[in-house]
Amino acid sequence: MLLLIVISSLLLITLDSRGNGLVDSFRSTSRDAIAPIRDGVETAFDPLRNLASGVTDYGDLKDQNVELKRRLAKLEGKLTRNKAVGGKVSELERLLDLPTAEDATGIAARVVATAAGNFERTVEINKGTGSGVFVGQPVVAGNGLVGKVTTVSATTATVTLVDAPALGVGVRLANTGARCVTEAHTGDRDVLLTICDRGPDDKPLHACPEENAIPDTCVTVGELLFTAAVEDGAFPPDIAVGRVHRLTQATGDLEMTIAVRPIVDLDDLTYVKVLRWPEPKATK
């Protein structure tokens, strides 16, 4: 009996690794079948979860509130200054015929589950092909990029998160403007930047020295990263992806290691938006 089980399992693994359509459709049907139960349990569990986090995170929430008020004041000042240049940017974008994230309409969805087990970085959402969700569409949350739809059934879809090894995102560093590709490693919440452009000073990207830093030519911890504008890109440009979290360069390394922490808390997602991207309207 054990031999039969082992052979069947290995056969299934081989079939699926080679990309068998039958296995995929069986998976998709199973997800649809279990979706209503999972959705119900998640909804029923909501009040309890809110109560528990309200009690356990009270101190953190107070600190967070103070920090948010401070950041709000700072951002209001920055917004006023940015308004002056914002108009010019929009005008230039129109002239260059560049599609932007605002061009893409979205489908709001609720995260109903994470991947079963400990070794996958995906979430399940409660919208599928029936709601216009298709494989390859980008997914965002309020403040940034969440990931990309990788499998879809009639009523649910699986979103591979930005910190999953299967997903590489073309990004642009806010200050230097250098473009890189993200590379995630299983189990690591930070993603690394690879294949980076040279900096504006035509040198490899380097960390800003603590004093006399010119942030336009070097990388600083906390610097924001946005999706890069690429023709026929998988993601709309200028969606916040993350912040530089760590900069390291071991002796003998030619390039610096840039670790980025995704801007969205990927472990605590509730609502997301699937962008209809690319759509004919968005290309103008």
Q: Which residues bind another protein (CB under 8 A)?
A: 1-2, 5-6, 8-17, 23, 26-27, 30-31, 34, 37-38, 41-42, 45, 49, 112-122, 124, 150-151, 158, 160, 164-166, 185-189, 267-268
Residue 216 · residue 175 · CB < 8 Å:
yes
User: Toward another protein, which CB reaches closer, 8 or 82?
Assistant: 8
Q: Do the strands 271-275 and 257-262 form a parallel or antiparallel pair, or are they unpaired?
A: unpaired
Cis peptide before 278 (omega within 30 of 0): yes
User: Toward another protein, which CB reaches closer, 113 or 228?
Assistant: 113
Question: Which region holds residue 202: left if phi is over 0, alpha if psi is between -120 and 50, else beta?
Answer: left
User: Toward another protein, which CB reaches closer, 126 or 176?
Assistant: 126
User: Toward another protein, which CB reaches closer, 54 or 187?
Assistant: 187
Least spacing, CB of residue 103 vs another protein, in Å: 29
Least spacing, CB of residue 63 vs another protein, in Å: 21
Residues ≥6 apart with Cβ < 8 Å to 191: 162, 163, 182, 183, 184, 242, 259, 260, 262
Least spacing, CB of residue 82 vs another protein, in Å: 37
User: Toward another protein, which CB reaches closer, 12 or 214?
Assistant: 12
Phi, psi for 182 (deg, rounded to 5): -80, 150
Instruction: Tell me, rounded to whole angstroms, the distance of Cα 154 from its chain centroid.
Output: 23
Least spacing, CB of residue 154 vs another protein, in Å: 15
Question: How does DSSP classify residue 218?
Answer: S
User: Toward another protein, which CB reaches closer, 35 or 208?
Assistant: 35
Q: What share of the chain is helix, strand, coil (3-state, %, to 5)?
A: 35, 25, 40
Residues ≥6 apart with Cβ < 8 Å to 34: none
Copy the structure tokens of residue 21. Answer: 């359509």
Element (H, E) at 193: strand 191-194
Least spacing, CB of residue 251 vs another protein, in Å: 23
d(CA 193, CA 260): 7
User: Toward another protein, which CB reaches closer, 60 or 267?
Assistant: 267
Least spacing, CB of residue 276 vs another protein, in Å: 22
Least spacing, CB of residue 264 vs another protein, in Å: 16
